[in-house]
Chains A and B, each alone.
Chain A
Amino acid sequence: QQQVKQSPQSLIVQKGGIPIINCAYENTAFDYFPWYQQFPGKGPALLIAIRPDVSEKKEGRFTISFNKSAKQFSLHIMDSQPGDSATYFCAASKGNNDMRFGAGTRLTVKP
């Protein structure tokens, strides 16, 4: 059973565009929602994370929007660059480090 649903599966934008990746979860016990960025042949790297007591968090060009009532959260990448081309995973955990990942979104930013 997939506990975190992520969309789209792949995304292509032009440089400077704002890709948006969406995730939805079912388990209301989840209380921590990180986003990871993974380049080919590398391990996932934590990008940004949010807890359900805030609706938005921004770090540099990356913003998480969180809608607790809809059980959805999304990642926005402002002024996207070709170097942002990677696979992005959303995840959710419930305080016991049992983290569940979304299926991933392969982002391509064209020059």
Chain B
Amino acid sequence: DTEVTQTPKHLVMGMTNKKSLKCEQHMGHRAMYWYKQKAKKPPELMFVYSYEKLSINESVPSRFSPECPNSSLLNLHLHALQPEDSALYLCASSQGYNTDTQYFGPGTRLTVL
């Protein structure tokens, strides 16, 4: 099973709202990632968690707050977003920090009004 699941599939929020995106994998992977993908663009790395600790933060604005409650779960908390934050948010996982194959979830389509 190489499945990464993400919820919700779609999310519409206002600029004053607080919402969270959820990602889950049951492959025993110890590294998990958040990417942001704008239309017709490649995914851009936002955060990397390795063994439940934040290891890479690509200077993402503080209105995005990641959380890794355990090795299977990854959350992305959203607060005071801007319309330009509208994008497809992708979660991925890989077996370990030095293992390269990343498996992506289907993404959450976020629209900020």
Contact = CB atoms under 8 A, between A and B. Distances in A.
Contacts, number: 60
A98 B50 CA distance: 12
B98 interface: yes
A104 B106 contact: no
B61 to A, nearest CB: 20
Interface string A37-56: 00001111110010000000
B56 A104 contact: no
B45 A42 contact: no
B101 interface: yes
A98 B100 CA distance: 9
B72 interface: no
A96 interface: yes
A97 B103 CA distance: 12
Interface stretch (B13-21, B35-43, B62-70, B76-84): B35-43
Interface in B58-113: 90, 92, 94, 97-107, 109
Contacts of B104: 36, 43-45
A32 B101 CA distance: 9
Contact of A97 (B94, B105, B109): B94
A96 B106 CA distance: 23
A7 interface: no
Given A46-B102, A97-B97, 12 more contacts: A32-B100, A34-B102, A36-B104, A43-B92, A44-B90, A93-B100, A96-B97, A97-B56, A97-B98, A99-B100, A102-B42, A104-B42
Interface of A: 32, 34, 36, 41-46, 49, 89, 93, 95-99, 101-104, 106
